[in-house]
Structure 1
């Protein structure tokens, strides 16, 4: 088929669209759907970037226990990384301008949950408290031209906090071996014998709070609640080993003892392994 034939066929299609309002309407639908699919794919890519950088921030904060780095230095470095993550979130907010956020929520909800996990982990190490949803949303207001903001939904906040408990469990197990790193105002990573018990109490309070939700929460909550119960059980085992076996076993060997009981230990963190994300 020559170029002239192609031009004639295209001209025939354009003429048909002009005389057929129905075909013209479907052409408009096609363009609108293509634009929506393209926007969805862009949001998926941005969410993936947010997820990766948030995980790297979490790995960085765990260095307080596995490498003896100063907590204050890690908090400063992690804030710099989270600022870069927020710029990715700003790009998501720009994509959603003039759109119904809930039409595209599935494209970036995983990234927002990972961001909540990272920012709440940093907040806990800094203040020993749980960051509120309002505080998270205040950090996602971006002045400038144009001024945009993105609201973390209640579901994403709840599921992000549920994921936080896994990081606190790892922190608890690592601190059993004398890594410290539990915050509480310590300048470096000097061993703090109260850190595992403090983390265990906090996890128990979070678990009690989630239990109050019952069947009212999102459908993913039941699975995460099961994982939370396992994390709490590991922390309780670690505290038991520290309290009962602490006088029998050297402190630096307690982490290995807890690992043998299924507590996870610090070896995986030292190698960068967490939920299959070693390659991030």
Structure 2
């Protein structure tokens, strides 16, 4: 006579019973451990999503600042535009302060992908403003120096009536070198557009200044080569295209500038850049 399945196998029956007990017993050590893991993962996911939303706001406001700065080549009072851009960037920095608050006590590289697009766009905007004002490249240290925030409100130590020391209320955000480089690489596209606008307004000097400045940036990136982050080497191609267009504008101005009326220079330059790179998308 055949034995029923599992009969005579006390170890199997015991293991199955333990599995059933673990699944039905909420106080089981295994279930308790997995509940802790679930809570940690949910908390991390929620924080990641909040950082993505803040980064999106930083990106939008930074782009608006860049669009505003492009008006400096066509308005009589450039300083008013620059002051308005300063106000907008102050608002962007407040958003970055929210990122710093979310990252307090965390490893930023766990969440870096969530906020890096916004930080790169901010670097692009603040470096564009700095160039228009000072005709130089802003440094990473100068950017980080303005990303120091004071926490709002007075805080008290937990379980004590004493106030938290001032140092505990200060938050800092440090732009990473890779985000800085990526933002500077994107800056070159805005400088190329500024060159086109300057030519259209009859400004003959700005394109030559931009050409020299972009050449210096290109030389700096050439020192990095393939040793830097992959995204940096990928954007080096766009940088070279922007430099080539600006140098072509300078060539057109130098060789044919006296032949072409100033109001037609931009049209001639635009048609030449289209021939150079007809398949390029939006930078």
The two structures have a TM-score, normalised by structure 1, of 0.83
Give the aligned partner of residue 174 of structure 1: 197
Shift of 1:176: 1.2
Matched, 1:209 2:185: no
Give the aligned partner of residue 181 of structure 2: 158
Greater CA deviation, 144-153 or 131-140? 144-153
Distance in 2 (CA, whole Å) between partners of 1:137 and 1:248 is 47
Helix, strand or coil for the counterpart of 2:226? coil
User: Could you list the runs of 4 or more consecutive aligned residues of structure 1 that deviate by over 3 angstroms after TM superposition?
Assistant: 12-15
Matched, 1:260 2:283: no
CA contact (8 A) 1:234 1:263 kept: no
The two structures have a TM-score, normalised by structure 2, of 0.82
Shift of 1:219: 0.2
Q: How does 1:89-128 map to 2 (within 5 A)?
A: 89-128=96-135
Shift of 1:193: 2.1
* RMSD across aligned positions (CA): 1.9
Shift of 1:15: 7.7
Higher RCO, Cα 8 Å, sep 6+: 1
Distance in 1 (CA, whole Å) between partners of 2:105 and 2:58 is 22
CA contact (8 A) 1:235 1:263 kept: no
- What are the ranges of 5 or more consecutive residues in structure 1 without an aligned counterpart? 1-11, 179-190, 265-273
Give the aligned partner of residue 26 of structure 2: 17
Find 2:71's aligned residue among 63, 70, 86: 63
Question: Is the alpha carbon distance of 1:45 and 1:25 closer, same or farther for their aligned partners in structure 2, counting shifts above 3 Å?
Answer: same
Distance in 2 (CA, whole Å) between partners of 1:69 and 1:33 is 54
Shift of 1:13: 9.9
Distance in 1 (CA, whole Å) between partners of 2:23 and 2:142 is 54
- What are the ranges of 5 or more consecutive residues in structure 2 without an aligned counterpart? 1-20, 153-168, 276-280
Matched, 1:46 2:54: yes
Distance in 2 (CA, whole Å) between partners of 1:69 and 1:136 is 29
CA contact (8 A) 2:82 2:129 kept: yes
